[in-house]
Amino acid sequence: MTTAKPKNPTTYTTTLGSIVCGDSSQVLADVKANTVDLIVTSPPFGLVRKKDYGNVDADEYLEWFKPFAKQFHRVLKDSGSLVIDIGGAWNKGTPTRSLYHFKLMIMLCEEFGFHLAQEFYWWNPAKLPTPAEWVTVRRVRVKDAINTVWWLSKSPWPKASNRRVLQPYSPAMEGLLKNGYKAKKRPSGHDISEKFSINNGAAIPPNLIAIPNTESNSFYMRYCEENGYKPHPARFPSELPEYFVRMLTDSGDLVIDPFAGSCITGEVCERLNRKWKCIEMLPEYCQAAQGRFVTPASQVSKVVKDARNSKTQYSVSRPGTLWNGDEGPKLSKDGGQTRPKKEVEKKSSKTKSNRSSKSAAFLNQQSSAD
């Protein structure tokens, strides 16, 4: 007698968690109401250009998301949070942005009863200047290097502590702490008291999270290569789920990633002693995800620690740093609708080198004037 294959098979378990292969709206239907502390996930984005794991178009996105939203709200505890990492998208054929991820956040709040606890921006300093047509060919937009991360909660008071995500002081703040700080009123009228000059050993982070997405040599990648699996093409870096797992849950709490991909959320939870469930629809990703758990946790922790220790702070130049007063050619009146001809591009690269030498001279002048 052959037994029927389970619809949503568990493909891997540890003492803390499991990878379930199936559609998360169905898998979540079997999860008890009010039992989950955190849902942290990166759903398939409503990209205009479809990816090979089957994104739906931006317009259909909200409808597609509704069954998941209903389950997310049901399974979360009142103290729980829903954290969604979601990138923006360009509208097809024009250099304008889709509103789908904003609409998603508004729908989750207005139709499903979530609260926007805080919006975060994940800046990927390693992001390439795309889409090339708007950014590097017509030069009418800048590079899109952030994802929005919506931190939503079931009640206005989700459990949370920013003490879990403190970071080193910036060099500027270190300087202030060392050289002293004079309490005074800011131009905004804010009274900055002496309290700001107290060295607390670490800084409260802003809602901008800087992490390059450059992982290429992890245990997971090696496992994929050795076993002939295609690595998941849209993995988020472990520091992203880790930030929210630390800030929003305690040891032993339950975390679910309903669009788990390579199951990085499970790997993070395993390290941080949280219970976890990773749900992924495609069997090949579920199988490859096992590679995250075959390496002893102590080895993983060491590699993670070493990588962190080697990281420096990222910085963004102040706007206008290279500005020398030379505006170059006039702005195109059609907003870039006409594609620049090759000669124009060549000419402009000559002007550019002219300009950069002018900029250098200008900057030298400036610094000697400082």
Ligand X SMILES: C[S@@+](CC[C@H](N)C(=O)[O-])C[C@H]1O[C@@H](n2cnc3c(N)ncnc32)[C@H](O)[C@@H]1O
Nearer to ligand X, 134 or 220 (CB): 220
Letters for 192-231 (x = contact with ligand X by CB under 6 A, - = none) are ----------------------------------------
Structure token digits, residue 160:
């949370």
Is 147 among the residues that bind ligand X (CB under 6 A)? no
Nearer to ligand X, 42 or 79 (CB): 42
Structure token digits, residue 127:
């992001």
Smallest separation, CB 112 to ligand X (Å): 17
Place of tokens 């054929």: 93
Is 24 among the residues that bind ligand X (CB under 6 A)? yes
Is 259 among the residues that bind ligand X (CB under 6 A)? yes
Smallest separation, CB 36 to ligand X (Å): 16
Q: Which of 24, 37, 43, 79 is catalytic?
A: 43
Is 232 among the residues that bind ligand X (CB under 6 A)? yes
Contact stretch for ligand X (CB under 6 A) within 37-45, 93-101, 146-154, 157-165: 37-45
* Cβ atoms of residues 261 and 234 within 8 Å: yes
For residue 261, how many other CB atoms are within 10 A of its CB? 26
- Chain mean position to CA 195: 32
Of 16, 38, 39, 44, which one interacts with ligand X (CB under 6 A)?
A: 44
End-to-end C-alpha distance for the chain, whole angstroms = 85
Site for ligand X in 261-300 (CB under 6 A): 261-262, 264, 279-282, 285
Residues 6+ apart with CB under 8 A from 60: 46
Please name which of 65, 252, 253 lies closest in space to residue 158, comparing C-alpha atoms: 253
Is 42 among the residues that bind ligand X (CB under 6 A)? yes
Contact stretch for ligand X (CB under 6 A) within 165-173, 176-184, 260-268, 351-359: 260-268
DSSP for 251-313? Answer: TT-EEEESS-TTTHHHHHHHHHT-EEEEEES-HHHHHHHGGGTSS-HHHHHHHHHHHHHT---
Catalytic residues: 42-43, 85
| Residues that bind ligand X in the complex, under the rule CB under 6 A | 23-24, 42-44, 53, 232, 234-236, 259, 261-262, 264, 279-282, 285
